[in-house]
Amino acid sequence: MKRFMCVFLLTFMMVSQLWGQMQFFKNADFENIAYAHETIATVPFLTKVTLLPDQMDTISGQQLASMEKTEGESIQKAIYSWFLQRQENGKLSVTIQEPAISNAKLKAARHYP
């Protein structure tokens, strides 16, 4: 479980630092880190949606929270797709866990709503 969480944290740190750039960069030692694992997973990102004041008046707090959750899951799926392409091209030696499975495990552990 510790290894699983380390991969979550590693993925989150890499992506959160570099998401705004045009390319996705990975840790220079990623292959060595991944070699010690059978499966890696991505986690949904914590996002903050900022709207214009007029837009804020038209939606509820629950709708805003839903938008933020959806945005975080969209980023998670994009990163999953990126890893999956590398796995299919033979550039990645580990299995990539589907986001639905990752989210279910996080929910079961009460780490995700």
User: pLDDT digit string (tens) for 45-94?
Assistant: 888 888 888 888 888 889 888 988 999 998 899 889 988 888 888 877 88
The count of structural domains within the chain is: 1
Q: Is the pTM above the cut of 0.75?
A: no
pLDDT of residue 22: 40
pLDDT of residue 40: 87
pLDDT of residue 10: 55
Structural domain boundaries, residue 62: 2-108
Q: Is residue 22 a part of any domain in this protein? A: yes
Q: Is residue 17 a part of any domain in this protein? A: yes
Half-sphere exposure of 97 (CA within 13 A, CB side): 21
Q: Is residue 60 a part of any domain in this protein? A: yes
Q: Is residue 94 a part of any domain in this protein? A: yes
Q: Is residue 113 a part of any domain in this protein? A: no
The rounded distance, in Å, linking the Cα atoms of 20 and 14 is 11
Please, what is the average pLDDT of the chain? 79
Q: Is residue 18 a part of any domain in this protein? A: yes
